[in-house]
Structure 1
Amino acid sequence: MRKGTWLSLIMSVAFLLFGAGAVVFIRSEIPKQLSGKPLLAVSESRSEKTGKPLKDVIYETQKLVVMIESGNGKQGSGFLYNNQGDLITNAHVVSGVHKVKIHTADARELDGEVIGISTETDIAVVRVPGLVGEKPLKMVRNKKAEIGDEVMAIGSPLGFQNTVTTGIISGLGRSFKIEPYSYKDLYQISAPIAPGNSGGPLVRRDTGEVLGINSAGIEQGSIGFSIPIVNVLATVEAWSSKPMEVLPEQEGTNGNGMVKQEATMSEYASYLVTHFYDSLNNADYVYAYSLLGGSWKELKSYDEFREGYMLTRNVVIDDMHVTVNNDQQATVTAIISVDERVGGKNKLSKYQVIYEVGYENDQLKLITGRGKVIEQAAHEKEQH
């Protein structure tokens, strides 16, 4: 969606709940030593347990994770957990509504109905007839995760569907309260999450099995929180067996006494450019190309785009500045370091790049882009 809605409540620790982005963010003084590495789908490392390349584990998991649109600017994530077409998500993603729109990884738009929702625990179940019979994700039913376990968080932060971040279980048994929900016995994770991740699965990195439901994150720093799936499976399965005839009255995430705060165009624009380079670094050229606007694509075919980046080994964003033109457009200027292969040799260059960012069909896109070399290694300057 275009913009997220952030909801915050100052308690002993200040909490910020994102409504439009559908993720809770918590302000605290927790040290920020932990970090997760952004990942977008093509690592060649293999799982010791399955023997599959990591990219295959990600692909098999991603296709069962959806984006949920609940109306009024609210957007979050969910995942298929049974063969009845039922999705698990957070209650704050679908609070106050009965019907939702579901966007699947293969670009289908389906109708969903909330069949179970809690007013105390931040969980809900959405039934999607269009997903009946599809093979669900596997749940970890009996054993909880341990500190140090490697995990992946999958969801649609800021509307960028099927984004994956990696990290570890960095803490256990975390608890806090954000009205009206009580969060108890949570996993603390180092995999970064952002508005829109809420309701998405936390999965084992080696197998793709679901460990938890991503629900909250530190506002600054790479720390998130996930509800253990073993704690709520009995409840969601009961809703699937016998859907609620009448849903409890809920005011929704923007009516629970928290203060609204909107995500800024600057944050959306900087996230899009960062996301673009993450895709290139992982050789996910199809996804990177999908972030370009229509006018750019008219000038450059996918094959030309891909060919232009085939010899780019890695891109690091050294500095970024965003100028917001209006609530629909922004200009992003960045300094990047590029490790590229030229003439059979590796070359490290610095570029200044400028992107015009704007909305097309309600999706934020890179409308135009240009760049120039500002620094090269001395021995490479002699080649040009």
Structure 2
Amino acid sequence: MKKQWIISCITTIMIFGVGFYSFTLIKESVASQLNTAAIAASESTEDTKEKAPAESKEIKDIIHETQKLVVQIEIGDYGIGSGFLYNDQGDIVTNAHVVAGVTNVTVKTADNREFPGKVIGISENTDVAVVRVDGLKGTEPLQISKEKNAEIGDEVLALGSPLGFQNTVTTGIISGVDRDFELPPYQFENVYQISAPIAPGNSGGPLINRKTGEVVGINSASAEQGSIGFSIPLPNVLALIEGWSNSPMTSLPNNVEQNDYFYEEDSFTDEQLARYLVMYFYESLNVKDYVTAYSLLGSSWQRDTTYESFRNGYTNTEAVYIDELSVTTNGDITVTAIISAEEWRNGSYSYQQYKTTYTVGYENDQMKIISGGMQAVN
């Protein structure tokens, strides 16, 4: 009996030991699997963070954030161009043809502050330059797209001071890539073709991704006919820009001269200004910037139409497309445009074509839309 009791105890202990060992083994195995799963999940999360696209932003927010860091570059009595803040050292990226032949420039910010700037880098064959503005040192710069190139169909914003209209924003898409051409002394290789309207004075301004707010290019040239512009992809010239920022030129090349497409402010004709003024008006409406659109109206028009009334007149208009635009100067400057408006009517969007006629003139040396009217085109 005693022997059986001893055998029973030994058996119980063995069973308990095996059970305990098994429990420990299973616990360690499960813990190991959980740990492995946690590591995999962590790595997956890190991969997701690295691969996740930049967060999409509202277009109004992008414009508001970007305009503060886009500047107008003034070169004495010669002319104007544009640029944007590239880093926190106060370095402004622009086109070489904007600052060609000069060392010192004046930089004007969106809030009308003025700073002296010095050219610290300029290329003899690529249309890129860098201006250092000590007064902007420490300012947080624009977000830069350093690696990924834009693709055909990407929506973009072009910012700058076309024809002297500071803080102008136009919209469009990347309509072509890998365009090559020459505008002596500069070679343009693998540049973007864009549909966003640009004009003299836009040169050097940023091309912005409409969804992320990142700078993807430098607006550099436009075709004489149509609304075709060209922008240098920023990743293609980033090494050049960073080289000048880290090691500024001690002397600038003296064979870089102002060229045929360095536009002088005095060379802007009334026809050019009137055409762009009306285009700018419609672009402002398209991005829902009613304040800017209203500011382009003459004093008599504003006196007869309050801002609230003006804005309410466009709240049901989703977009405006210019089909035709012409300018005549018979004493008065008249701009005639055929436009297509996408409007909200009876619970759905529909298109209506209009013929608009504007009289344009100067008030206090600024061109304004003095009067105008429209009629539906059947």
- 8 Å Cα contact 1:351/1:371 also seen in 2: no
Q: Show the counterpart of 1:93.
A: 98
Greater displacement, 216-225 / 57-66: 216-225
**Greater RCO, 1 or 2 (C-alpha within 8 Å, sep 6+):** 1
Is it true that 1:253 corresponds to 2:258 in the alignment? yes
Q: Show the counterpart of 1:242.
A: 247
Is it true that 1:364 corresponds to 2:351 in the alignment? no
Provide the secondary structure at the position in 2 that maps to 1:230.
Answer: helix
- 8 Å Cα contact 1:150/1:169 also seen in 2: no
Structure 2 matches for 1:144-223, cutoff 5 A? Answer: 144-160=149-165, 161-168=167-174, 170-172=176-178, 174-223=179-228
- 8 Å Cα contact 1:105/1:162 also seen in 2: no
Q: Show the counterpart of 1:35.
A: none
Shift of residue 95 of structure 1? 0.9
Shift of residue 159 of structure 1? 2.6
- 8 Å Cα contact 2:193/2:231 also seen in 1: yes
Using a 3 Å threshold, how does the CA distance of structure 1 residues 247 and 337 change in structure 2: closer, same or farther?
closer
For the residues of structure 2 that align with 1:235 and 1:372, how far apart are their CA atoms? 50
Using a 3 Å threshold, how does the CA distance of structure 1 residues 110 and 347 change in structure 2: closer, same or farther?
same
Shift of residue 198 of structure 1? 1.5
Q: Show the counterpart of 1:112.
A: 117
- 8 Å Cα contact 1:86/1:240 also seen in 2: yes
For the residues of structure 2 that align with 1:336 and 1:273, how far apart are their CA atoms? 11
Q: Show the counterpart of 2:273.
A: 268
Equivalenced residue count is 324
Q: Show the counterpart of 1:283.
A: 288
Shift of residue 210 of structure 1? 2.1
For the residues of structure 2 that align with 1:324 and 1:226, how far apart are their CA atoms? 32
Q: Show the counterpart of 2:358.
A: 355
Using a 3 Å threshold, how does the CA distance of structure 1 residues 242 and 375 change in structure 2: closer, same or farther?
closer
Match of 1:77 among 72, 78, 82: 82
For the residues of structure 2 that align with 1:343 and 1:167, how far apart are their CA atoms? 30
For the residues of structure 1 that align with 2:326 and 2:118, how far apart are their CA atoms? 42
Using a 3 Å threshold, how does the CA distance of structure 1 residues 151 and 113 change in structure 2: closer, same or farther?
same
What is the RMSD computed on CA atoms of the aligned residues?
3.6
For the residues of structure 1 that align with 2:63 and 2:374, how far apart are their CA atoms? 35
Is it true that 1:56 corresponds to 2:61 in the alignment? yes
For the residues of structure 1 that align with 2:161 and 2:303, how far apart are their CA atoms? 27
Using a 3 Å threshold, how does the CA distance of structure 1 residues 135 and 311 change in structure 2: closer, same or farther?
same
- Alignment-mate amino acid for residue 359 of structure 2: E
Q: Answer 1 or 2: which has greater strand percent.
A: 1
Using a 3 Å threshold, how does the CA distance of structure 1 residues 104 and 360 change in structure 2: closer, same or farther?
farther
Using a 3 Å threshold, how does the CA distance of structure 1 residues 82 and 319 change in structure 2: closer, same or farther?
closer
- 8 Å Cα contact 2:69/2:110 also seen in 1: yes
- 8 Å Cα contact 2:170/2:197 also seen in 1: no
- Alignment-mate amino acid for residue 274 of structure 1: M
Give me the identity figure in percent: 55
For the residues of structure 2 that align with 1:52 and 1:148, how far apart are their CA atoms? 18
For the residues of structure 2 that align with 1:352 and 1:215, how far apart are their CA atoms? 32
- 8 Å Cα contact 1:68/1:76 also seen in 2: yes
Q: Can you list the C-alpha shifts for 1:158-215, whole angstroms capped at 9, x where unaligned?
A: 233331322126222x333322222233334444433222211223333222222222
- Alignment-mate amino acid for residue 202 of structure 1: L
Long gaps (5+) in structure 1: 1-46, 377-384
- 8 Å Cα contact 1:87/1:125 also seen in 2: yes
TM-score normalised by the chain length of structure 1: 0.70
Greater displacement, 80-89 / 317-326: 317-326
Larger Rg: 2
Using a 3 Å threshold, how does the CA distance of structure 1 residues 266 and 248 change in structure 2: closer, same or farther?
same
Shift of residue 318 of structure 1? 5.8
TM-score normalised by the chain length of structure 2: 0.71
Provide the secondary structure at the position in 2 that maps to 1:232.
Answer: helix
For the residues of structure 1 that align with 2:81 and 2:115, how far apart are their CA atoms? 15
- 8 Å Cα contact 1:350/1:374 also seen in 2: yes
- Alignment-mate amino acid for residue 357 of structure 1: V
